[in-house]
Amino acid sequence: MLRAFLALWIGRLVALLFRWLKRGGTSLPGYLALKIDPQLMGRLTSRYEKVIIVTGTNGKTTTTNLLASILRAAGLKVVHNSEGANMPAGVATALLARRGEVAVLEVDEGTLGLVTRQVKAGLVIITNLLRDQLDRYHELEQLAAAISRALAAIPAATLFLNADDSLVTSLGPGRGKVRYFGLARTPWSQATTSEVLEGHICPRCRRPLQFNFYHYSHLGNYYCPQCSYSRPPADYEARELELSSAGARFDLVYPAGKLALRTPMPGIYNVYNVLAAASVALLLKIDPATIARVVATFLPGQGRAETFSLRDKRLTLMLVKNPTGLSVALKTLTAGRGKATYLLAINDLAADGRDVSWLWDADISPLLQAPYHRIICAGLRAGDMALCLKYQGVKEADLKVIPDQEESVDFLLGEPVDEGLILCTYTNLALYRRILKARGAVSEVTPLPSLSGTP
């Protein structure tokens, strides 16, 4: 007990110090606390009425923050790692805050097993499984197997799975409580796709899957012609989807009825994020009117298509970290947009993934077709990004290679266009946000509550 007491108060003291110094520190307090008491996460979560884990490749942070916002609006005291620090140290930091009623925890898919050994979550949301950071996660089948082993530690948990992802649904068989969410066919669904196909092998018989249609990447309506494996019916399904540059509208059809939702977040990937968060809120018996109200105003911030005003420009900052993410981001950001300057900042540090060969797998055709003024390549692998763009058809005269992040922002601000779009890998994200803020940029997103869990 003394060890747990010391871990708790030293962690809280360090967190308080970092907040006082305005240094962030979303992982260090938890790291130190876990060094003192390795079982701290389990001790802290045992006091919560409900613990929800959100994991998967893309969409974890947005889904976690939206769900936490809905639960807070419903009057619950919620603790969550709002800034996306999703390794065990970041999770522990969030839990060091004052105890709430519900913990909504974003957890890195590669370290899920370290968390579930201690944290007996009652519900786990899995957003999708896409190729990402091969040096850490290896191939998708290996990642799915690791997640399955992690889930075995919490057999009583309800799984909330993306029905449109064949790898995610493969985690459902043999579980006692499984719910599925998914997207019905839309005007944007495709019978064929030019995007990189990742989870296109049947998890049961290892034969190629067939698709009635695709939403993006391997997400869609699939079936195996050799065995009975196919997309399960969705308990919570988005229908009548309308997409525009101003966001999306759809009907969420669920066992007890239908809920009309409108979100200002653009792109089909955000439809999945809203669908997952809103569906879990319905599963938890949150008032549908509260859900619709929060969804209608929620913007993710922290580099998830976060918009800024700076001088005479509107700037958008977006995280990209794998071929599917970059492909979908370009498709979303270029749709209906006038002439803009694009800045692609690529790093290859440990948190980004050392292997950047994924750049060659991304579908950049939307960018080639966009009326761009110039494309700036920045970061540690600026040259790789520029070479990739050049070989795919971007004229050398339209490319500017500026590895230094601050210099790349200054060059962008000097461009004779009204809009700039910054797409960057993980370790560039916070840096570009700080650079923009230091130059006076004003975010259009209201900050989320802090890690303290207080509203």
Burial of 351 (0-12, 13-18, 19+ CB in 10 A): middle
One of 135, 355, 398, 418 is an active-site residue; which one? 355
Question: Cα torsion at 388, 197, 322, 171 (round to 10°)?
Answer: -170
Whether the CB-CB separation of 319 and 303 falls below 8 Å is answered with: yes
Find out whether 424 is annotated in a ligand binding site. no
Between helix 28-36 and helix 88-95 the angle, nearest 10°, is 90
355 is catalytic: yes
Cα–Cα distance, 131 to 143 (Å, whole number) = 9
Measured in whole angstroms, how far is the alpha carbon of residue 194 from the centre of its chain?
23
Structure tokens at 382: 């600026």
What does the angle CA 321 – CA 60 – CA 272 come to, to the nearest 5 degrees? Answer: 95
- Amino acid occupying residue 439: R
Cα–Cα distance, 236 to 68 (Å, whole number) = 19
Structure tokens at 397: 């005269």
Burial of 71 (0-12, 13-18, 19+ CB in 10 A): buried
The sheet with strand 442-443 has its strands ordered as 399-401, 372-378, 340-345, 419-424, 313-319, 304-310, 442-443
Find out whether 224 is annotated in a ligand binding site. yes
Cα–Cα distance, 66 to 281 (Å, whole number) = 10
Find out whether 388 is annotated in a ligand binding site. no
3-class DSSP state of 306: strand
Residue list for the binding site = 202, 205, 224, 227
Residues at the binding site for Zn(2+) are 202, 205, 224, 227
Catalytic residues: 355
